Each structure stands twice: as structure tokens, then as C-alpha cells.
Chains A and B, each alone.
Chain A
């Protein structure tokens, strides 16, 4: 701070400090950026339903005509109710087909027995040796097509 004060009170030797604002703004901006990066992200999840534990062998469950089941086969291919329809890396067809089916159900008001909720349940079955990441891709596609709820079959899976 250059200041030349002469002795005596010639014209007043007041020091006039002025704050340089630029560095303050820089610091604020950096703080803002750090907060934006570091704040914990909004957590997200796929809500899925699982069948209740059955004491007796599950063979007595008779599938209804409305059941939609996606099977992930060991060779990465997908099946919708038995029909081959794409693979884990290519879920487009599965999404499109499911989307169609579920939309038609919405239009025709196909509901669950005894209620007026549209039947949009889709079950997913995968072999136990698969990686979770692969199965999530299928869950993602099925959910995106409008399935609700997404059901996971956890009994009688292939190894």
C-alpha cells in the first residue's frame, strides 16, 4: 500500500484503504464448485418385489394368462414368456414389445383380479452365476417399458 504521508497536517494524510474484491469472488466461486462436486448425490433405486418365502415346493403356483416373465438365458439371450427376444446387450426389442403390451393393457383396462389396478407386473429370472450388473440392465429396460412392479424370481434358479 503506497502511502506518502508528509509530516504536518498538510492537506490531511489519511490512508484510504480499499479492498480488492477480485480474489474474494474467486474464492467464493471455488467454494461453490467444491460444494457442487462434493455434495452426496440424490440416491436412487429400483423398487422390486420378491415372492414370499414358501414352505412347500413352489410347483403349485399356476401362472396366470397375464404373467409376463423375462428369462435371462446362460448365453446372454433374453426370452419373454418363452420366446426369444434379443439379448442383454440389445434390450431394445424387449423394451419395445413390453411397452406395447403394457400400453394395450392400459387402454383395455386389463386389471388385476379383484382390483382396478392395471396388471403390469413383469418377473425377471436370471441364472445365479450372472453378474448383478448384467441383470440390472434388464431390470432397467423392463422398468423403462413401464413394468410396475418389477418382480424378481428367487426360487429354483439355474446355477
Chain B
């Protein structure tokens, strides 16, 4: 900070930019390292421009069951992958998913908690979604009939008829 007093009483403060840039770079690096760990679950291209999807913070809770379908044929329960062949009713992977689902569902105490969220990508074939719904409602997987289809809402829009 160069300042020369005496004679004319003018102050001249020059901001030294270098330390600011240093701090910004450090912050940037910190955030680049931290952000991937903030995102939980699998990256799925969910519908983003809906007008009426309702808020539900249970989706990001550790106790909730989220089945992700990023592409046709790829199914994840949480972060665990299952390669299910939907055409084969006796598929081993299908059975494994049903078993794992049932284990989790049995832990749910109330009816309201018996909901499975499905995070499907916009380009996934509807038949795949139907197939996985069929797996979910199977009594051997817990027989859940409430499905939450995860989608994003357009910013600034409130849903017209919110259901909790």
C-alpha cells in the first residue's frame, strides 16, 4: 500500500491482486475435490423440465430405496448394480434384486415408508421401467405399490396440486 503524505494530502491505495487470486485458486481446488463426494448415487439423466413434481426430501435420505436406471438394461439399487434380463423371469440378477429389496422393505415400519423411488433417464425405454416396476411389486420383493418417479421441476414453478 503505497501512500505518500505531505504536500498534497492525496491517498493512493493500490489493491494488490495477487493474494486474492491465490486464495481463489485454493478455493477452486478445494471445491473440485469436495463436490464429487457430495453427489450420492448414480448419475441419471432424469426429466428436468416438469411443472408438477413434488418435493420429497426422503429421496436423498440414506434410508430410502432408490432404483436408478441410467440406460436400458442397467439397474442400480443405491450404488449396487444389477444386470437384469427383463425377459427372463428366472434371471438370477432379478432374484438378487428382489431379495435385496425385500430385506430393505422389511425394515420399514409404516406403510408410508414403503415406497421405492425410481430414477430413470429420459431416454430409457418405458418397457424397462415397466419391467422394473414388475419386479418391485412382486411379493417376493416386498410387494410395494407406491413408486416415486424422480424428476426435476422447472425453477420458479410451484406444483399445481401438491401431493405430499
Contacts and interface: CB of A to CB of B under 8 A. Distances in A.
B117 interface: yes
Interface string A44-81: 11111111110000000000000000000000000000
A133 B120 CA distance: 9
Contacts, number: 169
B27 A34 contact: yes
Contacts of A36: none
Contacts of B163: 47, 143, 148-149
B123 A132 contact: yes
B107 interface: no
A129 B126 contact: yes
Contacts of A22: 15
Nearest to B21: A23
A23 B153 CA distance: 37
A110 interface: no
Contacts of A140: 47, 50-53, 151
B130 A154 contact: yes
A152 B38 contact: no
Contact of B150 (A1, A44, A134): A44
Contact of B52 (A27, A30, A143): A143
A53 B139 contact: yes
B156 interface: no
